[in-house]
């Protein structure tokens, strides 16, 4: 019985670490416009921005990926495909979508080294803290991969009508439910 508890504890720590990394990646993606200046501004189209490997393909297949956070081109060795969760709020419900994003190893490493307190404080300082998790399909950094391949939708209907609660309470209730659903994914 003691070994089961140890395994459960280790699994919980692993889930917490993954959740923290994904939350930081979402924050980096939401603030990518201001962070783009901080990352490699010299975008040479013929070599990887991380390892400087040549990106030209000899067999005609895709030899590079564009990081959706820093928008730099990277080779297949410096490429990471990461699933992140986004919230698409609607008038009567909201949808949690999981999207696979192409990222570079530099941005993933940056997210793991970031101060979690700083991310949490900046998230709380926003007018709409849930805006960090809003899904924007026309965002210039989102991939155009088919929905059936990379998106998993879960619809959660509101149980109350608009007449039952005032607007600020609705936003708070919707945000609490979104947070609970996001925690289930991680």
Number of structural domains (the chain) is 1
* Global confidence as pTM: 0.60
Amino acid 120: pLDDT: 84
Amino acid 141: pLDDT: 40
What gap in Å lies between CA 178 and CA 88, rounded to an integer?
10
Residue 106 has pLDDT above 90, yes or no: yes
3-state helix, strand, coil in the chain (%, to 5): 45, 20, 35
What's the domain range around 121?
Answer: 2-185
Residue 16 has pLDDT above 70, yes or no: yes
Higher confidence at residue 155 or residue 45? 45
Please, what sign has the CA dihedral across residues 140, 35, 24, 47? positive
Number of CB atoms found within 10 A of residue 24's CB: 22
Amino acid 177: pLDDT: 67
Helix (H) and strand (E) counts in the chain:
6, 5
């Amino acid at each position: 019985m003691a070994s089961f508890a140890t395994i459960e504890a280790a699994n919980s720590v692993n889930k917490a670490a993954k959740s923290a990394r994904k939350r930081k990646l979402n924050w980096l993606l939401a603030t990518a416009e201001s962070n783009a200046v901080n990352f490699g501004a010299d975008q040479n189209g013929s070599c990887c921005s991380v390892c400087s490997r040549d990106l030209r393909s000899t067999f005609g297949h895709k030899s590079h990926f564009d990081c959706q956070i820093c928008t730099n081109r990277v080779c297949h060795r410096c490429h990471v495909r990461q699933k992140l969760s986004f919230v698409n709020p609607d008038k009567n419900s909201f949808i949690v979508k999981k999207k696979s994003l192409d990222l570079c190893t530099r941005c993933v490493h940056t997210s793991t080294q970031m101060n979690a307190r700083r991310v949490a404080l900046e998230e709380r300082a926003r007018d709409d803290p849930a805006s960090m998790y809003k899904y924007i399909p026309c965002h210039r950094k989102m991939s155009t991969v088919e929905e059936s391949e990379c998106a998993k939708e879960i619809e959660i209907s509101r149980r109350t009508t608009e007449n039952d609660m005032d607007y600020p309470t609705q936003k708070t209730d919707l945000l609490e439910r979104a947070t609970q659903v996001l925690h289930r994914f991680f």
